[in-house]
Structures are given as structure tokens and as C-alpha cells.
Amino acid sequence: MHPAIQGLLTIAIGVSACVGYFALSNQFLDKVLFPAKGPNAGRNINRANLIRPWLFLFPALFALGLYLAYPVFETLRLSFSERIPGGGYKWVGTDNYAQMLDDRKFKEAITNNMLWLIVVPAMSTAFGLLAAQLTDRIRWGNLAKSLIFMPMAISFVGASVIWKLIYDTRPVDQDQIGVLNAIYLALGGAEPQTWLTIPLWNNFFLMIVLVWIQTGFAMVILSAALRGIPEGTIEAAIVDGANPFQIFFKIKVPQIKNTILVVWTTITLTVLKVFDIVFAMTNGQWNTQVLANYMYDNLFRANDWGVGSASAIVIMLLVTPILVWNVRNARKEMR
Amino acid sequence: MDNIAGRKSALNWVVQISVFLLVALWLFPTVGLFVSSFRTADQIATSGWWKSLFPSEQNLVIRAADPDDFRIEKDGLFVVEGNLFDGSGAKVISVWGTSSRAIDAYEAGQTADLGDGETMTVQANGDYVWSGNDEQMAGRGQRVFATAETPPEFTVKNYDTVLFGTTDGAMAKAFFNTLTVTIPATVIPIIIAAFAAYALAWMDFKGRALLIATIVGLLVVPLQLALIPLLTLHGSIVELWIDILGKPELENARRFAEVNPLGELLGYQPGDGVNAKGYLGIWMAHTGFGLPLAIYLLRNYMVGLPRDIIENAKVDGATDFQIFTKIILPLSFPALASFAIFQFLWTWNDLLVAKVFLIDASGKTTVMTNQIVELLGTRGGNWEILATAAFVSIAVPLAVFFSMQRYLVRGLLAGSVK
């Protein structure tokens, strides 16, 4: 069967199965199980209303449980076990973690990830705040925002190609086609550099790609927050003779502190999961390994599910503080 | 007050210029790729794309027409006349020469003395007159080294090669594969999530707050954790499937040894294998991974809908199911659109999930992101192919982005993002 037809069929089957399930299960509940007539009509309606939410929720809970909740525990279990050739698992305690901690590549990945975690959210938020503030008061601000926001739509892989062209290197006697080398030579650099192979610095060249993508996101959120600031506070500051910088840093930024924090944590989450950029641009060579790519290497190249799962658990641990914070905020909002 | 107003306008200029620079900086990388996709391999390899927008000076080596075929006898001399650029007329020669050691020996319009009465004249537009005696005007055409001003030149040939070429044509197939992954993976979670969101927003039951908190928590679970367990799960579903429709082979439980009538009805034969990787698997995976955000966004939106409408409907005797399909769903269109865009962009741009759940060794089910990564590996130097392939894959999300930006922004503001 042609995959496109299969796709259409799946949509049709999936959609009609979902709609059918919801419609039929509701009918069944109201007409067969607890009909709203006869001697027990009142009790039946109440009972039906007790069950109905779960009919609505069931497909979602099933999918969430199977595709997100169960894997978390299963990965945790796998990280403490080892595959026996021919099938089955053997409990090995913390061996996988010990092996991982001894791995030079893992240490490299952790160090680099920490660097990513500091640089990318900080730079994206800073650039986003700058762009939000600057575009807010000019006439073509919306167009400017739209263009800065655009990289959000570009895949990490596409962005990697875009930036690889910028970092491209040609031999010294040829015209440089990568703009970074062209600028470097024009500014008096001795010979073209292969940017992605210079240890430590190459990490920053990879981070720039993500900063480029995430700045638009930060800008959109922060710009909305800036607009939400009560005009009165700003007018009062102007009357008191504050200059534009004071207004920005002393009046506006403190008022949108919470939004900045949300933006920061959201980008942090993206950073922790960043895989495509490193995979496509350096594949972790030249000291650019990160956790997500390290995990992929272990799972699918080395075929070591134990260490791979252990590194996935490390990513989960790094995410957990944000998870807890988010859940607490959500609960506070609901009250 | 004048003083402040004056400063304000100066500041305004600084702001305008800074924004312009910022936008230029952000656009520059994408424009580079876009321009490169319209240049030939030669052009990309020899000059930076930013130079291609302006006329460039090129050193060309061109041969005059073959004298054996084109020479004409005139006043006892043989003459070959023609145009170095076949009359295209776009290039302008400034200096030229007939030897590689002196490529700038003559200016345009000058006549070169090639010895023993053989001469050559080259005009700025490429017209040349080359004359000499019978012996000189034989063999191959005279070589001309010209330095010419060349106008910008672009081609759509790359797109032809990438989309329809035989070897690189995989991109067209990858395009449709990506589409095949994306659409069901966007539609299915929306339906499932909408019902759940309605229950979480407008139905009262025990444990609702806990469920909402759980979904907020699942929102940030890295999908990296799900890869191996789900791959194993899909494997065991395949094995179960084979057990139902027949008997598996001893050494490979994912291949039929025998097929029962039900299996035959579905078109299986002994020896057929069932792949744990495939579209069904990736649709399910994307559905699972997209659900927390979908439920979260839709619930937040539905909670904000006016209570009166829903209560009036209830008083009029509408059931929850009717309220949901007739009132809530149409009213929630903006939130549905927001999520649809997120999920579309995310599934279209995804590499990891496709690599794990879809792409097998057969190479039939590759998606565009994977195709590009492979091009990066095997043809890292072929920028014309890479740039074009990348742009083909970027084009659809960009179109969606620019046409539906409103909903995207709304969605971003309504909740956090994965």
C-alpha cells in the first residue's frame, strides 16, 4: 500500500475510531448502563456523571501512560540492568552508572552541557529582551519581530546546514565561501580557520545556532510581558526624570521578572534535549559531545542500552527541578 | 520639554538602526542558504554568496572558434570572427591576453600582434577578429584569457536535480514521506486531547487537580527516555500480531513461519516479516509525545470560555457530548489551530523520533531531515545540493509560519512550550 494512502486511511480510521468511541461510549452510558428514566432516574444520572469524565479522558490517559509515564520507569529499570545476549535482562545494580562516570566522553558531555545550559538561555533571553524592547515602539516593529521569530520554524537540521555554510573553510589560496572566514581574513587573520574543530570554541559556534533559533521565542513572550506593564509606573518614572536605560532596567525588567524566569526555564529544557544540531554538525567530535547525543550514540551505535538508559536518566534528573517548579506553579494558579 | 523631545528623536534613530542591524543579522544566515540554492556548484565553490548579488570580476579562459570550420578568406588572409560569449552580451571584458603568463596584456578593443602577421582583436562585449595566413589559422582555436565583469547569474537547475533527479531525487520521496508522517501525527492528538481537555476544564470529578498537575509534569519529560522502552514495546506488539495471525519463525519472532486464514486474509505469507519500525509506530509516538502540550493548551483555553453558555446549554437539556461537539469545539478553534501549528512544525522538523521509530535499513522510509543529515555526511562539499535540499525542507514550515503566525504567537503565550 502506498504510504500516502495508508496515511489517509489512518487519519480516517483514527479520527472515526476516536469520534466513534466518544459517541458510542456516551450513548452506552446514557441509554444502556444508567438510563435517565425509570425508578432510579435521578441516581442513574448522578452515576453517569461520575463515570463520564473518565470516558472523555481514557484515550488520552492511555496514550500518556503508555508513551510517557511507563517509559520513565522502564528506562529507570533498564539503567540498572544489562541485556543478556539472546534475550532477557540481568540486574547489575549501579554498574552502568559507574561505567558511564568513567567514560571520558560522558565527562565531556556533562561539561559541555553545563556550558550550553549557561550560555544559550542567557544569550537567547538577553537578545530576546533587547529585540522585544527595541521593536515595541517602532512602526515596522511587527515586521522586524516576524523576521527575528522566523528561525523558530526552521528545523535544527536545516539550521545546521545554514550555519555550516557560514563556518565553511576553503584552502588559503582560494576565495572563502564561509562568511566567518571571509570576515576573519578581512580583519587581518593569517589563514582560514576550520571553526568547528577548534576545541572549546567550537561549542560556542554550535550554541550560536540554538541562540539564533530561540531568540525569537524569548522575544515574543517578553514583548507581550512588556506590553502588560502598567503605563502608570513608566509615566511616573518619566516624570521623576528617569532616563530610558533606568526605565528599562529599574522599572520594566523587575516587573517582568517572572516571565523572564519562564522563558529561561523553557529554553533550558530545549537545551537539555538538544540533539539534532550536534548530531548534524559535528556528531560530538572535537570535544563537542552533549548528553542527548551521547545517549543516542550509546543506544543506537554502541547498542549499549544500559549506559544509554543511564544517561537518559541523567537528563531526566537535570529536568526534574524544572518539572517540580512547573507543577507547583500550576497548582498555585489553579487555587 | 524641547530638550527631551530632541533627545527622543535621536534615541529613535538609534533604535531604528539597532533594530535594522538585529534583523539583518538574524536574516543573513537564511538568505545565504537561499541565494546559494540558486547558484551552480562552480559559483558556490569559487566565491562567497554575498558576492553573487553584485557583478563580479572573473578570469575566464575561452577558445576562439575552430579555424578549420569557421575561417573565411579575405584579402589573402584567413579570418575567424565571432563572440567569445556566444553573443550572450552580459559580460564585459576589461583586459585580456593570449598567454597564461600575461592575461592582462591588452585592453578591450586593442589588437594583439601574435607574430608573423597573425593578429587578434577583442572588443569589450566579446566580439573578436582573429586573422593570419593559412598555416597559422589551422588546428585549434586561439586561447583567450579574459578578465570580464560578470553580472549576477542564478539558476533553478539545483531544484530540478534535487526534486526530480535520479540520484538525488530521493528528496521528492522524502518530502512525501515527511508529509505522511506529519498529517496523521497532527490530527490524531488534537481529537484525543480535545476530549480530555474538556473533561479537565468543565467536568467535576475527584482527582482532577492531580491529573492536571501530572500533565504539567509530563510536559517536560524528555522524550529521550521513551525511546528504548517504546521500541521494545513496538517489537512485542509485532510479535503478538504474528502470534495472532500465524506462527513465528524460531530464530526470528518477527517473521511468519505459518500463516492462519485470518493472516492470509490480510495478505501475509509464510516468510513475510513485520517491521517494528513504520508509519503506525511514529504516528503513535508523535501522538503520545504531543498530548501533554495539546491537553495543556486546550484546557487553558477552554477554561476561559464563558460559563454562561455552557450552563445555559445544560439547562436546555444538552448532554456533555453535545456541548462539547456543538459549542466548545467550534469556540476553541484558535487554540486548536495553535496546537496544530506547533505539532506540525515539531513533527515536520523532527529528526530523532523519525530515526528511532520510522527509518529502517531499507531506506524506503526516510524523511527530509534525515536525508539532509545523510547529504551532510556523504556530500558535505556539494553545497548546491545541500542548500537546495535544506531549502526544500524549510519551505513548508516557513509558509505555515508566515501564514499562521498569529496562532503560533497566541499558542506560545497561552502556555509554555516543549
Residues from chain A that touch B372, judged by Cβ atoms under 8 A, are 157-158, 161, 280
Chain A contact set for B292 (CB, 8 A): 64, 68
Closest approach of A335 to chain B, Cα-based (Å): 10
Burial of A240 (0-12, 13-18, 19+ CB in 10 A): exposed
Residue A224 in grid coordinates: 507581550
Residue of B7, B39, B228 to mutate, testing the A interface (most A Cβ within 10 Å of its Cβ): B228
Alpha-carbon span B122 to B80, nearest angstrom: 12
How far does the CA of residue B44 sit from the closest CA of chain A (Å)?
A: 7
CB within 8 Å: A148 and B223: no
Amino acid at B13: W
pLDDT in tens, B68-104: 888 888 777 888 888 877 766 677 888 888 887 777 8
> For B400, which of A153, A162, A212 is closest by C-beta distance?
A153
Residues of A in contact with B9 (CB under 8 A): none
pLDDT value for A42: 76
Which residue of chain A has the CA closest to B365?
A: A3
- Does A64 sit within 8 Å of B288, measured CB to CB? yes
Answer whether A66 sits within 8 Å of B188, measured CB to CB: no
Q: Does B169 score more than 60 pLDDT?
A: no
Does residue A102 share a domain with residue A55?
no
Q: How far is A287 from chain B (nearest CA, A)?
A: 19
Instruction: Say whether both A12 and A103 belong to one domain.
Output: no
Residues of chain A in contact with residue B195, where contact means CB-CB under 8 angstroms, are 18, 22, 56-57, 59-60
CA dihedral B174, B175, B181, B183 (to 10 degrees): -170
Which residue's entry shows cell 521565542?
A217
| pTM of the complete model beyond 0.95 | no
C-alpha cell at A127: 537578545
Report the chain A residue with the minimal C-alpha distance to residue B195: A56
C-alpha cell read off for B161: 536535480
The model's confidence at residue B5, banded by pLDDT at 50, 70 and 90, is very low
> Would residue A88 count as lying in a domain?
no
- Which chain B residue's Cα is nearest to A222? B413
On whether both A121 and A30 belong to a single domain, the answer is no
On whether both A70 and A195 belong to a single domain, the answer is: no
Element (H, E) at A129: helix A104-136
Q: How confident is the model at residue B111 (pLDDT cuts 50, 70, 90)?
A: confident
Report the amino acid identity of residue B173. Answer: K
Summarize pLDDT for B394-418 with one digit per residue, the tens.
999 999 998 988 888 888 887 643 3
Buried b (16+ CB within 10 A) or exposed e, A173-186: eeebbbbbbbebbe
**Structural domain contains residue A73:** yes
Q: How confident is the model at residue B277 (pLDDT cuts 50, 70, 90)?
A: confident
**Set of chain B residues whose Cβ sits within 8 Å of the Cβ of A177:** 44-49, 383
A295 and A147 in a common domain: yes
Hey, are the CB atoms on A26 and B413 less than 8 Å from each other?
no
Both A49 and A102 in a single domain? no
Q: Do B176 and A312 touch (CB under 8 A)?
A: no
Grouping H, G, I as helix, E, B as strand and the rest as coil, residue B72 is strand
Interface contact B19-A316, CB threshold 8 A: no
**How high is the pLDDT of residue B295?**
92
Is B217 in a helix, a strand, or coil? helix
Q: Which value, to the nearest 10 degrees, does the dihedral of the CA atoms of residues B106, B109, B110, B115 take? A: 90
- Residues A116 and A75 placed together within one structural domain of the fold: no
- Asked whether the predicted pLDDT for residue B106 surpasses 90, the reply is no
Note whether A11 contacts B292, CB cutoff 8 Å. Answer: no
Say whether both A154 and A62 belong to one domain. Answer: no
Considering the domain boundaries, does residue A38 fall inside one? yes
C-alpha span between A261 and A278 (Å, rounded): 26
Q: Note the pLDDT of residue B72.
A: 83
Residue numbers in B near A63 (CB within 8 A) = 192, 284, 287-288, 291
Is A248 among the domain residues? yes
Quote the pLDDT of residue B380: 63
Q: What are phi and psi of B212, to 5 degrees?
A: -60, -45
Output the nine-digit C-alpha cell for A97: 552508572
Q: Give whole-number Cα distances, A131 to A127, A233, A271, B16, B359, in Å.
A: 6, 22, 21, 11, 40
- Eight-class DSSP state of B274: -
Domain carrying residue A327: 95-334
Q: Nearest 10 degrees: CA dihedral of A85, A89, A90, A91?
A: 150
Burial call A97-135: b when 16+ CB within 10 Å, e when fewer: bebbeebeebebbbebbeebeebbbebbbebbbbbbbbb
Number of Cβ within 10 Å of residue A150's Cβ equals 21
Domain boundary, last residue among A35, A51, A79: A79
> How many residues are there in chain B?
418
**A153/B291 touch (CB, cutoff 8 Å), yes or no:** no
Q: Mark which of A55, A79, A103 sits at the end of a domain.
A: A79
In a domain, A178, yes or no: yes
**What grid cell was written down for B46?**
569559487
**Minimal Cβ distance to B221: which of A6, A72, A212:** A72
Q: Do A280 and A142 belong together in one domain?
A: yes
CB contact under 8 A, A70 and B229: yes
Which residue would you say has higher pLDDT here, A80 or B62?
A80
Classify residue A189 by its DSSP letter: -
Distance between B411 CA and the closest CA of chain A, angstroms = 10
Task: Count CB pairs under 8 A between chains A and B.
Answer: 323
CA atoms within 13 A on the CB side of B55: 10
Query: Per 3-state DSSP, what percentage of chain B is helix, strand, and coil (rounded to 5)?
Result: 60, 15, 30
Q: Which residue of B has its CA nearest to A276?
A: B351
Residues 6+ apart with CB under 8 A from B301: B197, B332, B334, B335, B414
Same domain, A75 and A186: no
Q: Are residues A46 and A118 in the same domain?
A: no
Residue B1 has pLDDT above 60, yes or no: no
What confidence score (pLDDT) does residue A119 get?
93
Show the 3-state SS of B18-63: HHHHHHHHHHHHHHHHHHHCCCCHHHHHHCCHHHHHCCEEEEEEEE
CA distances to A232, A278, B90, B291 from A112, in Å: 45, 11, 52, 31
Q: From the CA of A176, how many Å to the nearest CA of chain B?
A: 6
Contact criterion met (CB below 8 Å) for B154 and B351: no
How many Cα atoms are found within 13 Å in the side-chain-facing hemisphere of B354?
A: 27
Q: At what angle do helices B383-414 and A201-227 cross, to 10 degrees?
A: 30
- Taking contacts as CB-CB distances below 8 angstroms, the residues of chain B near A262 are 416
Q: Which residue on chain B is closest to A155 by alpha carbon?
A: B349
Q: Helix B383-414 and helix B157-164: axis angle, to 10°?
A: 80
Mutate one of A26, A61, A67, A240 to test the B interface: name it (highest B CB count within 10 A): A67
Q: What are phi and psi of A30, to 5 degrees?
A: -80, -35
Collapsing DSSP states into helix, strand and coil, what is residue B186? helix
Whether residue A119 sits in one domain with residue A31: no
**Residue found by looking up cell 572535537 in the block:** A286
Structure letter (DSSP) for residue B319: -
In a domain, A86, yes or no: no
Measured between CA atoms, how close is B143 to chain A, in angstroms?
24
- Would you list the DSSP string of A261-324? HHHHHHHHHHHHT--HHHHHHTTTTTTT--HHHHHHIIIIIS--HHHHHHHHHHHHHHHHHHHH
Q: Domain tally for chain A? A: 2
Residue A84 in domain = no
Contact A155 B369 (CB under 8 A): yes
User: Does the distance separating the beta carbons of A138 and B19 come in below 8 Å?
Assistant: yes
Contacts of A269 in chain B (CB under 8 A): 220, 418
| Alpha helix (H) residue ranges in B60-169 | 67-70, 157-164
The rounded distance, in Å, linking the Cα atoms of A241 and A244 is 10
Mark yes or no for CB contact B188/A144 under 8 Å. no
Give A37's DSSP letter.
-
Residues in chain B within 8 Å Cβ distance of A148? 22-23, 26
Residue from A10, A29, A325 to probe the interface with B (highest B Cβ count within 10 Å): A10
With cell 578578465, the residue in question is B147
pLDDT in tens, chain A (335 residues): 666 677 678 778 878 888 888 888 888 887 777 777 777 777 777 787 888 888 889 989 999 999 999 999 999 998 898 887 767 788 888 888 988 888 888 999 999 999 999 999 999 999 999 999 888 878 888 899 899 999 989 999 999 989 988 888 888 877 888 888 888 888 887 888 888 888 888 899 999 999 999 999 999 989 888 888 888 888 898 888 888 888 888 888 898 888 898 899 889 988 988 888 998 888 888 888 999 999 998 888 888 888 889 999 999 999 899 889 888 888 887 76
Q: Which of A24, A44, A79 is the last residue of a domain?
A: A79
Identity at A252, one-letter amino acid code: K
- Which of A15, A61, A178 lies closest to B187 in CB terms? A15
Backbone torsions φ then ψ of B59, nearest 5 degrees: -95, 120
Rounded to 5°, angle at Cα A148 from A142 and A149? 85
CATH number at residue A321: 1.10.3720.10
Q: Do B19 and A56 touch (CB under 8 A)?
A: no
Asked, for residue A180, whether it belongs to a domain, the answer is yes
B196–A61 C-beta distance less than 8 A: yes
8 A C-beta contact, residue A260 and residue A125: yes
